[in-house]
Amino acid sequence: MRILDISQPLGSTTAVWPGDRAVEGGWSMRRAEGHSVNVATLCTTVHAGTHVDGPLHFEDDAPPVGALPLEAYLGPALVVDARGRAALDVDLVDEVDLGAAERILFRSRETVDARVFPERFAALTPELAERLAAAGVRLVGTDAPSVDPADSKELPAHRALGAGRVAILENAVLDHVSPGRYTLVALPLPLVEADSSPVRAVLLEGDAP
């Protein structure tokens, strides 16, 4: 079994959605200052780096991310090569057995630089989101900052996936991942007052333990 880390590094140089809170790290205790231990602090948006969007992100009456069932974020996953696309449309899954593909990750970018927010990225069309939800897919992931376009106000892909109870993973790093089948582990933190959560997302290549 090989572990492929598909997470963006989190730090002060990590790019966040324009207007969102930047990642700020610091220290509350340092051994060099006489404390017995080093203790780091972190202030960040929950959408920094690789993260899951919980339904509370786009629905006011949804549960916080810490109350969501974890099953969607752990299990078999299919990585689909979608590079070169202006948008992610239904033809990408025409030859995919969606009944067997519980989790789908779309690689839409050649490379991901966590320090730079992309000027353009390929989002899911509402038709693709609806098709995946109707097929019973449990999680949809992308290496882009959002499953919807940057200028979207209605968030049709988010809402279509949410209506089908499909989990959303964004800002994955798939530069080094070949198309194919893996085991995904991308568990959200048990945050009790948050809509979404950063994750340490990995793909397991080969037989999971």
Active site residues per annotation: 57
Which H or E run contains 197? Answer: strand 196-198
**Which is nearest to 195 in space by CA: 62, 57, 61, 60?**
57
Q: Give the N- to C-terminal CA distance of the chain in Å, as an integer.
A: 8
Residue whose structure tokens are 């919980």: 54
Cβ contact 106:80 at 8 Å: yes
The CA–CA distances, whole Å, from 100 to 113, 132, 172 equal 32, 12, 22
- Write down the H helix ranges in the chain: 126-134, 156-163
Torsions phi, psi for 104 (to 5 deg): -125, 130
Dist. CA 11–CA 154, nearest whole Å: 30
Taking the CA atoms of residue 4, residue 80, residue 111 and residue 161 in that order, the dihedral angle to the nearest 10 degrees is -100
